[in-house]
């Protein structure tokens, strides 16, 4: 009998080998796709009964300070605006939306599953911040955007949600699926100088070119 199970392919499946090969200097820079995360957009009035009700199943209050996050267990909540949050959980948490909606009941709030909208690229290692600064105008110093903070910004002209996760440093980039390959290609190029590759011997290359012409 034919297998009828749904097939899922991540937005960066075509670049999987190149991303894996880019990990030859993991202490300096690592690029990893984190696909298929559960992502829910939650809209509610801060401090309202709806916001309080949502905190129960999430296990954490909704962050009310701009560009901050809160977390409990495997669930993370990102502040996206005065009345908007992005709830992030591991792949397969299809139950989370129903649980939230049940907790909210008739309260004035909405929950929308946006899991297919974005994929996530994790950029980590000692030089992760330097790589991102090549294409991002934000101040990424830990005093400004340290662990537990997030921001909506442009990276190499692509709109992303940037989340600082640890002081390694490590960042997660939530990028629309349609821009994912472009951004991954840019990151691979931006990170190339930090990989353990021998420098190109321009003298040898030039001599080989001369011989080929002659």
Does an H or E element contain 45, and which? none
Reading the block at residue 100, the tokens are 């939230």
Chain segment 127-180, per-residue pLDDT in tens: 999 999 999 999 999 999 999 999 999 999 999 999 999 878 999 999 999 999
Q: Where do the structural domains in the chain lie, given as residue ranges?
A: 12-36+117-192, 37-114
Residue 92: name the closest of 38, 11, 18 by CA: 38
| Residue whose entry in the numeric block shows the structure tokens 């011997």 | 201
Q: Indicate the SS3 state at residue 82.
A: coil
State the CATH class of domain 37-114: alpha beta
> Is 37-114 in the same CATH topology as 12-36+117-192?
no
Q: Can you give the pLDDT at residue 194?
A: 87
Backbone angles phi, psi at 121, to 5 degrees: -115, 125
Non-local CB neighbours of 23 within 8 Å, separated by 6+ positions: 30, 31, 32
State the CATH class of domain 12-36+117-192: alpha beta
Name the pLDDT band for 210 (thresholds 50, 70, 90): very low
Chain segment 72-129, per-residue pLDDT in tens: 999 999 999 999 999 999 999 989 999 999 999 999 999 999 999 999 999 999 999 9
Q: What is the reported pTM? A: 0.87
Cβ 117 vs Cβ 101: under 8 Å: no
Chain segment 188-202, per-residue pLDDT in tens: 999 999 876 544 455
Reading the block at residue 28, the tokens are 């300096």
């Amino acid at each position: 009998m034919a297998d009828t199970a749904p097939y899922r392919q991540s937005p960066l499946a075509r670049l999987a080998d190149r991303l894996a090969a880019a990990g030859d200097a993991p202490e300096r820079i690592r690029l990893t796709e984190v696909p298929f995360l559960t992502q829910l957009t939650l809209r509610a009035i801060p401090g309202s009964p709806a916001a309080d009700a949502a905190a129960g199943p999430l296990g954490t209050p909704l962050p009310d300070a701009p560009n901050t996050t809160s977390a409990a267990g495997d669930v993370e909540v990102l502040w996206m605006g005065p009345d908007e949050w992005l709830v992030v959980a591991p792949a397969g948490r299809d139950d989370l939306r129903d649980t939230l909606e049940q907790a909210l009941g008739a309260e004035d709030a909405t929950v929308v599953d946006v899991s297919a909208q974005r994929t996530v690229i994790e950029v980590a290692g000692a030089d992760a911040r330097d790589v991102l600064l090549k294409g991002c105008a934000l101040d990424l110093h830990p005093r400004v955007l340290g662990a537990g903070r997030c921001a909506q910004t442009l990276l190499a002209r692509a709109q992303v949600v940037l989340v600082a996760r640890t002081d390694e440093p490590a960042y997660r980039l939530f990028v629309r699926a349609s821009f994912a390959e472009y951004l991954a290609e840019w990151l691979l190029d931006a990170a190339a100088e930090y990989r353990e590759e021998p420098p190109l011997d321009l003298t040898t290359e030039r001599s080989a070119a001369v011989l080929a012409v002659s």
